[in-house]
Amino acid sequence: MSDPPTSPSTVRGARTRLKSLLSHHGGRETAQGATLLIYHRVGGRTIDELDVSTSNFTRHLDLLDSHDVVSLDTALDRLDAGDARPTVVLTFDDGFEDVHSNAWPLLRERGVPFTVYLASAFVARPMRWEASTAKGSVGTGMTWSQLAEMVDSGLCTIGNHTHRHVPPEGLTAEELDDCSSSIRRHLGVTPTHFTYPWGIPVPEMEPALRERFRSASSGVLGRNLPGTDPLRLARVPVRRTDPDAFFAAKLVGALGPERAYATMVRVGKAVGLRG
């Protein structure tokens, strides 16, 4: 007789307990340079690891009160000037509507700058793309009017995330230009920052990226110091099961727990366990 399936709540609890343990045995590092945090959804009420609850996001902002949270351009300006003082940049991938509904009111109230990397084909449409692994109900993209509201506030930077959220093998100059053209047409701004869909760098596309953008980032884990190639920025993921101590460790430069957790997830997937 086979074992009964593990419930989602049991899996989430196990992840949180593991991260709590790792956060207390992560060693000490000193934060320097720019830490780019990766969010996707906020308060979408799914079981997806990339869907952070609104209450957790509120606590994240509380923890960030004691840190220097700046816009992406400000962070890059400081790195260009050789300034290694620690900064934090909030980034939101894809353009989910729940970011506007649940994160935006909190960000606006506190005056926190942030970047939305927009997959422009999904504005006001279901956020479903080829080979998407999202769990739970499909979210909807923000409308152009919602995006304009955030951009007009001066707090939101819009970045390019390709038009159709293509996988690495589908990344082309046309995808970049279709996204930028759509953003320019609807919002009156030209994106100068890009992040790779799926978080996977495509080295052969770097010449095209350098022609179009000030920066490009990926899902490669790390902080960014003066001298970092701005077309190869690292970022730090944020997930729904991150306990406060695990999240806070990322802000002070202690990425050991995150690296250890990512390694465990890769090993688990390799042997057939659920990620």
The string of pLDDT tens digits covering residues 92-125 is: 999 999 999 999 999 999 999 999 999 999 999 9
Instruction: Please give the full DSSP string across 163-199, using - where no structure is assigned.
Output: SS---GGG--HHHHHHHHHHHHHHHS----EEE-GGG
Instruction: Average the pLDDT over each of 67-71, 130-134, 258-262 and give the range with the smallest value.
Output: 130-134
Q: Which helix (H) or strand (E) holds 212?
A: helix 206-212
> Global pTM?
0.90
CB 53 within 8 A of CB 274: no
Reduced to 3 states (helix: H, G, I; strand: E, B; else coil), residue 133 is coil
Distance CA 162, CA 79 (A): 26
The CA-atom distances, in angstroms, between 46 and each of 8, 34, 38, 113, 268 are 11, 30, 18, 26, 23
Give the pLDDT confidence of 15-66 residue by residue, as tens digits: 677 666 666 665 556 789 999 999 999 999 998 999 999 999 999 999 999 9
Reduced to 3 states (helix: H, G, I; strand: E, B; else coil), residue 157 is strand
The pLDDT of residue 269 is: 65
For residue 136, name the pLDDT band (cuts at 50, 70, 90): low
The pLDDT of residue 275 is: 47
Burial of 260 per CB tally in 10 Å (0-12, 13-18, 19+): middle
Mean pLDDT of 174-192: 98
Those residues whose C-beta lies under 8 Å from the C-beta of residue 203, and which sit 6 or more positions away, are none
Main-chain phi, psi angles of 224, to 5 degrees:
-120, 120
Does residue 13 register a pLDDT over 70? Answer: no
Main-chain phi, psi angles of 51, to 5 degrees:
-105, 95
The pLDDT of residue 261 is: 82
Mean pLDDT (the chain, rounded):
90
The pLDDT of residue 1 is: 42
Burial of 91 per CB tally in 10 Å (0-12, 13-18, 19+): buried
Instruction: Report the DSSP pairing between strands 193-195 and 215-221.
Output: parallel
The pLDDT of residue 59 is: 98
